[in-house]
């Protein structure tokens, strides 16, 4: 990336809409926009104050009108990228947007790379790395809890906790260096005792943060959930109930679902990536048999398995097979049709699978769904407090950085116990301080930065 370049990209989703935006950022952003935009009153963008919108038209190289537009000028440093930014707002269709974007390139801008606008905001000091990552998390949030977590990171709530720990570690390093430069009698014992106490406090904070990593990852990426069961036990009805819409076809004919259906559902604030699979049974139908094999495959890959059984019928051979399959996974056994006279009871099912949770439900009356939602939430939030999502660790990289920082802090305690001297304690503490800096981007390598922003969409 050439940071001095002027870049442009379409900043709105593909498709038709009321408004489409082409964003331009860089030293020559206003100059590039001026070359393609003609204000209705003849006013120059170069003479326009920051945060002023100007109405006009987009003109091509032949002087032909491409579209009506509004140009919004945001001058450095008071813009998203801390550079001069102009947004050309036109009608939201792909043809006008592509044409306008092409015109900006003809006038000296270059195509923006993935996440390059946010990357410039990070490199120019407007956002730290955690905040920059939260931009995409906000865009992709699927539930209120997911949005709250992303918003907490974007506003710097997560980063503040990291900065407090780094500040405390740096204070310990400063005291050690002062003790080395200005030695006094018995100062080492007093200093090492204080350091031990502070290091333990910081490790406890890190431990608390790591307990949120499981929930944070799920809130960010969704929990892959497979619905399994024999044909006609209500799998598609369960999917429709969780989605609150008629997504899957429901009939009394066994084998209606022959392929897998995948949807996201907001279940108590948890984004579930739900896969409704074909009914598991022996069949001579080639297509249905492929669906059954895919159902087994999805169950093997899922983080949560919802195994469905029919309470109005006795357990059959196919149910026994599903019970055996659910024993291999983190499953919740759902006894459906509990509004009918029960032949298979929760006690009977619990006796057959004592390690699993059994919940009677009815997809017809919605009985048992509150308990199901509470059970899913308790599994996801295990070790983390709901309502404090802004503090959650959101991905594997953040969790690994925290573990490595904690390892350096643990090494400092072993160094103190071994009475190896202040110099060696300082080395371990500085390693922890630098490692925590990777979360905010202060000590992170360029390869990590490039990897993070490569996952962004173009135009953000």
Q: Report pLDDT digits (tens) over 322-368.
A: 888 888 887 899 999 999 999 999 999 999 888 899 999 999 999 99
Q: What is the pLDDT of residue 256?
A: 43
Q: Report pLDDT digits (tens) over 46-88.
A: 999 999 999 999 999 999 999 999 999 999 999 999 999 999 9
What do you get for the CA distance between the two ends of the chain, in Å? 15
Q: For residue 125, how many other CB atoms are within 10 A of its CB?
A: 10
Q: Which residue has the higher pLDDT, 287 or 439?
A: 439
Query: Given pLDDT bands bounded at 50, 70 and 90, which one contains residue 445?
Result: confident
Q: Which residue has the higher pLDDT, 4 or 405?
A: 405
263 contacts 247 by C-beta, under 8 angstroms: yes
Q: What is the pLDDT of residue 3?
A: 58
Query: Given pLDDT bands bounded at 50, 70 and 90, which one contains residue 255?
Result: very low
The per-residue b/e assignment along 54-76, b for 16 or more CB within 10 angstroms, e otherwise, is bebbbbeeeeeebbebbbbbbbb
280 contacts 258 by C-beta, under 8 angstroms: no
310 contacts 297 by C-beta, under 8 angstroms: no
Q: What is the pLDDT of residue 190?
A: 66
Q: What is the pLDDT of residue 81?
A: 95
Q: Quote the mean pLDDT of the chain.
A: 88
Pairing of strands 7-10, 17-25: antiparallel
Residue 391 gets which letter from DSSP? G
Q: What is the pLDDT of residue 250?
A: 41
pTM of the model: 0.83
Q: Report pLDDT digits (tens) over 223-254.
A: 999 888 888 888 888 988 888 866 543 444 44
73's tokens? 């000028």
Q: Give me the residue label for tokens 């440093």.
A: 77
- What is the Cα–Cα distance from 442 to 143, expressed in whole angstroms? 31
76 contacts 415 by C-beta, under 8 angstroms: no
Instruction: Select the highest-mean-pLDDT range: 234-248, 253-267, 369-383, 442-456.
Output: 369-383
Measured over the CA atoms of residue 111, residue 117, residue 118 and residue 124, the dihedral's sign is: positive
- Beta-bridge partner residues of 73: 52, 86
Q: Report pLDDT digits (tens) over 95-115.
A: 999 999 999 999 999 999 999
Classified as helix, coil or strand, 196 is: helix
* E-only strand ranges, 246-399: 261-267, 270-276, 304-310, 331-336, 357-360
Mean pLDDT of the 388-397 span: 92
* E-only strand ranges, 346-411: 357-360
Q: Report pLDDT digits (tens) over 150-198.
A: 999 999 999 999 999 999 999 999 989 888 776 665 556 668 889 999 9
Q: What is the pLDDT of residue 68?
A: 95
Nearest Cα to 358, choosing from 311, 297, 295?
A: 311
H/E segment holding residue 422: helix 422-440
């Amino acid at each position: 990336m050439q940071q001095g370049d002027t870049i442009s990209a379409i900043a709105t989703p593909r498709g038709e809409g009321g408004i489409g935006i082409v964003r331009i950022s860089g030293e020559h952003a206003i100059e590039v926009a001026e070359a393609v935009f003609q204000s209705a009153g003849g006013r120059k963008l170069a003479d326009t104050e920051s945060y002023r919108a100007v109405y006009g038209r987009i003109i091509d190289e032949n002087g032909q009108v491409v579209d009506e537009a509004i140009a919004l000028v945001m001058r450095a440093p008071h813009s998203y990228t801390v550079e001069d930014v102009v947004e050309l707002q036109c009608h939201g269709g792909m043809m006008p947007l592509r044409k306008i974007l092409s015109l900006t390139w003809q006038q000296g801008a270059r195509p923006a790379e993935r996440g390059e606008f946010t990357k410039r905001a990070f490199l120019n000091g407007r956002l730290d790395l955690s905040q920059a990552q939260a931009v995409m998390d906000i865009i992709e949030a699927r539930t209120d809890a997911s949005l709250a977590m992303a918003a907490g990171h974007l506003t710097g709530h997560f980063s503040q906790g990291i900065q407090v720990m780094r500040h405390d570690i740096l204070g310990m390093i400063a005291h050690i260096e002062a003790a080395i430069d200005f030695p006094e009698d018995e100062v080492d014992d007093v200093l090492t005792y204080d350091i031990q106490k502070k290091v333990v406090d910081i490790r406890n904070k890190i431990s608390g943060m790591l307990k949120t990593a499981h929930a944070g990852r799920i809130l960010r990426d969704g929990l892959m959930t497979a619905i399994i069961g024999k044909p006609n036990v209500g799998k598609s009805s369960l999917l429709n109930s969780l989605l609150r819409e008629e997504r899957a076809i429901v009939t009394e004919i066994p084998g209606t679902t022959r392929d897998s259906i995948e949807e996201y559902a907001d279940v108590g604030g948890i984004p579930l990536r739900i896969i409704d699979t074909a009914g598991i049974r022996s069949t001579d139908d080639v297509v249905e048999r492929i669906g059954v094999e895919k159902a087994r495959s999805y169950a093997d890959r899922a983080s949560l398995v919802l195994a469905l059984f029919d309470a109005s019928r006795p357990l059959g051979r196919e149910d026994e097979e599903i019970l055996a399959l659910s024993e291999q996974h983190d499953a919740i056994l759902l006894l459906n049709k509990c509004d009918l006279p029960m032949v298979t009871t929760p006690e009977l099912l619990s006796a057959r699978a004592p390690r699993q949770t059994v919940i009677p439900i009815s997809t017809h009356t919605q009985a048992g769904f509150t308990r199901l939602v509470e059970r899913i939430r308790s599994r996801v939030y295990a070790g983390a407090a709901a309502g404090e999502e802004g503090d959650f660790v959101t991905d594997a990289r953040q969790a690994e950085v925290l573990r490595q920082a904690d390892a350096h802090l643990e090494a400092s305690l072993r160094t103190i116990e071994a009475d190896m001297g202040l110099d060696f304690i300082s080395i371990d503490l500085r390693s922890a301080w630098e490692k925590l800096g990777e979360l905010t981007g202060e000590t992170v390598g360029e390869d990590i930065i490039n990897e993070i922003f490569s996952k962004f969409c173009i135009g953000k």
